[in-house]
Amino acid sequence: MKKMLKGLGAALCVALPFIAQAPADAATASATGAADQTLVQRGAYLAQLGDCAACHTAPKGKPFAGGLPMNTPMGRIYVTNITPDARTGIGGYTQADFARALREGIAKDGHNLYPAMPYPSYAKVDDDDVKALYAFFMHGVAPVQQANRESDIKWPLNMRWPLMFWNMAFLEKGAYRDKPGKDVAWNRGAYLVQGLGHCGSCHTPRGVAFQESALDESGSAFLSGALLDGWFASNLTGEHNTGLGRWSDEDLRTFLKTGANRHASAFGAMTSVINNSTQAMSDQDVAAVSTYLKSLPPVGGTGAAAYTYDPQATKVSLDRPANDAGARVYTAYCMHCHGVDGHGFAPMLAPLAGNPNVLAKDASSLINVTLNGTGDLVIDGVPSPFPMPGFAAVLDDQQIADVLSFVRAGWNNGAPAVGAAEVAKLRQSTQAGR
């Protein structure tokens, strides 16, 4: 009995310090948990800024499980699983592995990622944001066991080792550094646009090696508009006709939050950017992005005189549509939404008069959206009531060419005509890509 009591006493002597300390340890654990959760939440926000869901989630697929097909000049690739599943995702990645993939385009096993992954932009993401993103993908995303699919790119173009040389030539390493002489809002906007937002991936022209012609405002082609996967991503510089020159700061902030304003509406890939990314941005970040973009000098465009609205000639054609093939199609299929005056019913229904996408030299987006329509804008969970329908099954190539030529000439738009061969080519390529 004495031995039992002595043993119990010894056990209590060992246990008491831990018992006495338990409340402090619990408080520390609670604080640590709260800090970790705050980091995960911050990472979730940053993942929205980076629009990660749009590319890494297939239609009707599980979040971030990959499988989405992407068309490239070399062939189709399939986006990878970035859930924390240890076998098929990134569950085995350390933070250093994650940072290397994000900013250098190199996977944990050492193979190079295709630059369809915008790591030349993500290279500018700072260490604190990388840490938060890693916390989110490891602890805020449900693991999904879904094997990655090999690309459809044929040998020898599917070899990855030449990407090492591509990176040596075109990857600029190093996180974004504030520009002296610029205020906090401008630098924050530049960081988001050039980095996580990776706006240049779509809106900057590509060179012969499929590299972005410029990665920041120091390059004259930066954000001047580019053709990508059947869409022409708009000019985001201060160019008067085809860019943001006529947009106020409020116009731009409204577009980023809702996908539409008095000048234009989102289409194509920009619809998913609005749905998954920019509408979730804080007001402060939206204002910063607007501040930066509105500071960019005019670049690109068509060299035409500054746009001014003039409805007269178009009104005459619409009064007598029998004399104009494009006017006939417009009155039958377009006028009830976009109006006789071309103003539409913005922001619900896009204007055509003076719309930067209508004035652009490249008509690919107009052809594509007329053929195939566009996805729903979903703002705060509510789908847009009037999405653009597709007319591929209703109108032939010549009819679409006629109506788009009419629109591009109408209301003093003064943009080049569209040919039936252009429509046929895009019809074929977009149908093949489905």
Which residue ranges form the domains of the chain, and what is each CATH number? 35-150+163-175 (1.10.760.10), 312-381+388-432 (1.10.760.10)
- Is 56 assigned to a binding site? yes
Q: What's the CA gap between 199 and 118, in Å, rounded?
A: 10
Does the structure show a pLDDT above 50 at 120?
A: yes
pLDDT score recorded for residue 203: 98
Which of 172, 179, 99 shows the shortest CA–CA distance to 137?
A: 99
Does the structure show a pLDDT above 50 at 28?
A: no
Kindly state the tokens that stand for 109: 């096993």
* Pairing relationship of beta strands 75-78 and 226-228 according to DSSP bridges: unpaired
Which of 266, 176, 271, 166 shows the shortest CA–CA distance to 215?
A: 176
Does the structure show a pLDDT above 70 at 53?
A: yes
Does 157 or 238 have the greater pLDDT score?
238
Once rounded to an integer, what is the mean pLDDT over residues 137-161? 89
Does the structure show a pLDDT above 70 at 311?
A: yes
pLDDT score recorded for residue 19: 29
Q: Which amino acid is at 216?
A: D
Label residue 73 by pLDDT band (50, 70, 90).
confident
Tens digits of residue pLDDT in 242-301: 999 999 999 999 999 999 999 999 999 999 999 999 999 999 999 999 999 999 999 999
In the three-class reduction of DSSP (H, G, I as helix; E, B as strand; rest coil), residue 70 is classed as strand
- Is 202 assigned to a binding site? yes
Question: Which pTM was predicted?
Answer: 0.89
Q: What's the CA gap between 194 and 426, in Å, rounded?
A: 30
In the three-class reduction of DSSP (H, G, I as helix; E, B as strand; rest coil), residue 293 is classed as helix
- Is 111 assigned to a binding site? no
The verdict on whether omega for the bond into residue 298 sits within 30 degrees of 0, i.e. cis, is no
pLDDT score recorded for residue 152: 83
- Is 338 assigned to a binding site? yes
- Is 13 assigned to a binding site? no
